């Protein structure tokens, strides 16, 4: 049996010539989980796209110098345009849609080298920073209409807005049969909710008698259950984590402290697994400005920031916001994120009893690309059908 050691990581420089970096060495592996821990308030849904955040910050880093660049690169682990470009290509090969854009205020003169890098390496487009409607139209188009507005509204002091969008719509390797979907109680922090639950039964290589081609990966630790679900025609997968009741904050802290070493206990299993997964449609808004400053990226937000490689005018980051929407249904997972960076001045023996995993209280969901070890989306589902920010 094969240990599930390298199941996932966050955006980092693993793709510069496919260099070999262990999960423990990933700087964004830490910041991704740290942001999830910080954003979760114990009551409401939260969701983060580490890959979208990293690409937006990386575009800014292309025009940064000195301590400004050092701090950004230390946070993302992406130190050059080639690494970012390679990452984008590989994720797009697995079904992730990625788009980048720069919205520039009148009178701002972009450095030609930086502009060329954004256009050629990031496939980014440059637009005038005009009416809010232009930003919202771009967001709606690049998120497959799951989000309809930009995460923030630029004020008159904003000279530049960097935008990254990621979106996916992937089918389950074995869909959930709608005939088994039934309403049941989800024990949300703010009160019980009646939610449609989808159901599947997994037995070794078989799911309701259908050959899947792979065994299930499952694990238990500290009272939590972990299960991997695959997508069809992609190396992306969904990692579900159901912590012991009342221990969500402890789980998120452990992930921040240990990274994906926490999942080393996951193994292939022939045990039968019954899964009840609620249908999900959540939206989350994140203001990441303070969190990024606290994480060590402080200089970029001050008047001593050096973004001289971007424009002739002095620039500093004003704020960083991200909106995320995630949906699960019987056929597929749809997920999207917009990051907006604004700048101004061994399995055990077979057991008779099946594993039962009923996700009827807050749980963690991670959407991962296996080859690049990139977490594209990470969420705490506190209320599966709460789309309000």
Q: What is the mean pLDDT of residues 277-283?
A: 95
Lowest mean pLDDT among 25-34, 149-158, 188-197, 342-351: 342-351
> Domain for residue 13, yes or no?
no
What confidence tier does 9 reach under pLDDT thresholds 50, 70, 90?
very low
Select the more confidently predicted residue: 353 or 116.
Answer: 116
Does residue 4 belong to any structural domain of this protein?
Answer: no
Mark whether 372 and 326 lie in a shared domain. Answer: no
375 is a domain residue: yes
Is the same domain home to 340 and 227? no
Task: Give me the number of domains the chain comprises.
Answer: 2
Q: Does residue 240 fall inside a structural domain?
A: yes
Q: Is the pLDDT of residue 28 over 90?
A: no
Largest CA distance in the chain: 72
Residue-level pLDDT at 32: 81
Do 206 and 222 fall within a single domain? yes
The pLDDT-based confidence of 210 (bands split at 50, 70, 90) is low
Least confident of 20-29, 76-85, 202-211: 20-29
Residues 147 and 251 in one domain: no
- CATH number of the CATH domain containing 133: 3.30.497.10
Instruction: Check pLDDT > 70 for residue 159.
Output: yes
Whether the per-residue pLDDT at 212 is higher than 80: the answer is: no
* Domain identity same for 159 and 36: yes
Segment 84-102 mean pLDDT: 93
User: For position 363, what pLDDT does the model report?
Assistant: 81
* 209 is a domain residue: yes
Res. 282 pLDDT band, cuts 50 70 90: very high
For residue 156, the tally of other CB atoms under 10 A from its CB is 7
Q: Are residues 65 and 159 in the same domain?
A: yes
336, 353: one domain = no
Tens digits of residue pLDDT in 289-333:
999 998 889 999 998 999 999 998 899 999 999 999 999 999 999
pLDDT tops 70 at residue 343: yes
Q: Which structural domain, as residue segments, surrounds residue 203?
A: 178-280+348-381
Domain match, 38 and 139 both: yes
Is 108 domain-assigned?
yes
Question: Residue 262 and residue 211: Cα distance in Å, rounded?
Answer: 30
122 and 259 within one domain? no
C-alpha 291/C-alpha 35 separation (Å) is 7
- Rounded to whole angstroms, the Cα distance separating 34 from 55 reads 18
- Mean pLDDT is lowest, of 17-26, 110-119, 197-206, 280-289, for 17-26
11 in a structural domain:
no
Whether 260 is in a domain gets the answer yes
| Residue 77 confidence (pLDDT) | 87
Same domain, 105 and 130: yes
Question: 251 with 275, same domain?
Answer: yes
- Tell me: pLDDT of 134 over 90: no
Q: Span 47-74, mean pLDDT?
A: 94
- Output the domain CATH number for residue 203: 2.30.39.10
Task: Please indicate, yes or no, whether residues 215 and 359 belong to a single structural domain of this protein.
Answer: yes
Split at pLDDT 50, 70, 90, the class of 58 is: very high
């Amino acid at each position: 049996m094969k240990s599930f050691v390298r199941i996932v990581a966050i955006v980092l420089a693993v793709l510069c010539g496919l260099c070999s970096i262990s999960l423990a060495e990933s700087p964004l592996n830490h910041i991704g989980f740290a942001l999830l821990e910080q954003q979760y308030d114990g009551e409401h849904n939260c969701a983060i796209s580490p890959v979208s955040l990293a690409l937006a910050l990386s575009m800014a880093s292309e025009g940064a110098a000195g301590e400004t660049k050092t701090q950004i690169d230390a946070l993302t682990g992406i130190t050059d345009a080639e690494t970012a470009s390679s990452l984008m290509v590989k994720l797009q090969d697995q079904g992730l849609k990625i788009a980048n854009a720069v919205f520039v205020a009148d009178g701002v003169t972009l450095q030609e080298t930086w502009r060329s890098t954004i256009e050629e390496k990031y496939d980014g487009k440059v637009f005038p920073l005009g009416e809010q409607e232009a930003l919202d139209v771009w967001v709606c188009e690049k998120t497959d209409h799951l989000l309809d507005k930009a995460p923030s509204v630029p004020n008159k002091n904003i000279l530049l807005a960097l935008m990254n969008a990621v979106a996916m719509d992937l089918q389950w390797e074995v869909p959930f049969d709608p005939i088994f979907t039934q309403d049941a109680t989800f024990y949300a922090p703010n009160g019980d909710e009646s939610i449609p639950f989808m159901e599947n039964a997994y037995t070794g290589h078989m799911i309701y008698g259908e050959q899947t081609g792979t065994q299930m990966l499952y694990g238990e630790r500290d009272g939590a259950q972990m299960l991997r679900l695959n997508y069809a025609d992609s190396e992306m997968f969904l990692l579900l984590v159901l912590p012991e009741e009342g221990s969500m904050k402890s789980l998120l802290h452990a992930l921040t402290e240990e990274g994906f070493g926490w999942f080393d206990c996951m193994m292939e299993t022939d045990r039968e697994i019954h899964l009840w997964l609620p249908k999900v449609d959540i939206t989350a808004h994140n203001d990441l400005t303070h969190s990024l400053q606290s994480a060590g990226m402080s200089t970029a937000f001050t008047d001593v920031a050096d973004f001289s490689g971007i424009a002739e005018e002095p620039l500093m980051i004003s704020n960083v916001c991200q909106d995320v929407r995630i949906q699960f249904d019987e056929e597929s997972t749809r997920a999207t994120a917009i990051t907006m960076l604004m700048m101004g001045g061994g399995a055990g023996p077979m057991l008779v009893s099946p594993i039962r995993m009923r996700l009827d209280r807050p749980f963690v969901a991670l959407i991962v690309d296996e080859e690049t070890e990139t977490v594209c989306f990470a969420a705490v589902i506190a209320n599966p059908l709460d789309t309000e920010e």
